[in-house]
């Protein structure tokens, strides 16, 4: 199973868009930054056919330190979520 990295995506983007790697890197970074900023503000980002990114609240809970067995309080926080779109689900089948 191959692993695709950000560098691989930049290479493919540069090749298919016939632009430099610097321009492709700038474009990919801009997209990632805009998705991140939208999630920070609590907005959803929907890429039709691909999926939806959103921020979700995770409640505070108690956990256990596996090394010592001590009970640890885990604070509430926001976490990113991704729900795949119909086209992506069909493509992966």
Domain count, the chain: 2
Pair of tokens at residue 7: 């560098």
50 in the same domain as 34: no
49 in the same domain as 12: no
93 in the same domain as 83: yes
Contact present, 54 and 39 (Cβ < 8 Å): yes
Interior CA angle at 77 toward 74 and 78, to 5°? 150
Q: What is the pTM of this model?
A: 0.81
* Domain range enclosing 55: 44-93
Contact present, 55 and 42 (Cβ < 8 Å): yes
CATH number at residue 85: 4.10.520.10
32 in the same domain as 6: yes
52 in the same domain as 65: yes
- Render each residue's pLDDT in the chain as its tens digit; 93 residues: 789 999 999 999 999 999 999 999 999 999 999 999 999 999 999 999 999 999 999 999 999 999 999 999 999 999 999 999 999 999 999
């Amino acid at each position: 199973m191959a692993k695709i990295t950000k560098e691989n995506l930049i290479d493919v983007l540069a090749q298919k868009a016939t632009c430099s790697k610097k321009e492709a890197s700038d474009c990919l970074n801009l997209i990632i930054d805009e998705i991140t900023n939208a999630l920070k503000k609590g907005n959803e980002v929907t890429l039709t056919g691909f999926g939806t990114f959103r921020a979700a609240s995770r409640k505070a809970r108690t956990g256990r330190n596996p090394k010592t067995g001590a009970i640890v309080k885990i604070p509430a926080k926001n976490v990113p979520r991704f729900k795949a779109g119909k086209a992506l689900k069909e493509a992966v089948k």
